[in-house]
Amino acid sequence: GDSVTQMEGPVTLSEEAFLTINCTYTATGYPSLFWYVQYPGEGLQLLLKATKADDKGSNKGFEATYRKETTSFHLEKGSVQVSDSAVYFCALSDPGGSYIPTFGRGTSLIVHP
C-alpha cells in the first residue's frame, strides 16, 4: 500500500540556517504530494504541494521538488526563522490507490534565535 517515510526529529537549527527535511514515498500510481505544517496548538495547514514529476511547490520560502526517479519530496528552506518552529508532515494522495491521504509521522523543527 501507499506509504510516506519522513526523517525523524526533532531537527534543531539556529536562525538563518539551511533546512532540509527528507520525505520519500511508495505509491501505486502517480500521486500528488503535499507538505503540511502544524504550529503549536493548531490544526494542520497546507504548506505546499506538487502534482506531477519535476513540479516544484513553494510557499513562504519553503520549496520541495517532486522527484519521481528517487520517489522523494524533500522540504527545503534557505534561511529558517524562529517562527518556522512547527511540526512538518509529508503526505500523498494517490489516484491509483485510496483517495484517503496518507501522512508521514511528522518531523518537529525547532529554530533557536
Partner 1 sequence: DAMVIQNPRYQVTQFGKPVTLSCSQTLNHNVMYWYQQKSSQAPKLLFHYYDKDFNNEADTPDNFQSRRPNTSFCFLDIRSPGLGDAAMYLCATSRRLGTGGSEKLFFGSGTQLSVL
**Residues in the site for partner 1, rule: CB under 8 A?**
29, 31-32, 34, 36, 41-46, 49, 87, 89, 91, 93-96, 99-101, 103-106, 108
First to last CA, the chain: 41
83/39 Cα distance (integer angstroms): 9
Of 29, 30, 32, 26, give the one whose Cα is nearest residue 2: 26
The minimum distance between CB 113 and partner 1, in angstroms, equals 23
Beta bridge partners of 20: 76
Backbone angles phi, psi at 57, to 5 degrees: -95, 145
Question: With respect to partner 1, which residue has the nearer C-beta, 80 or 102?
Answer: 102
Question: With respect to partner 1, which residue has the nearer C-beta, 42 or 69?
Answer: 42
The minimum distance between CB 64 and partner 1, in angstroms, equals 14
Question: With respect to partner 1, which residue has the nearer C-beta, 43 or 113?
Answer: 43
**Residue in the block written with cell 506509504:** 3
The identity of residue 26, as a single letter, is T
The minimum distance between CB 86 and partner 1, in angstroms, equals 12
Question: With respect to partner 1, which residue has the nearer C-beta, 106 or 111?
Answer: 106
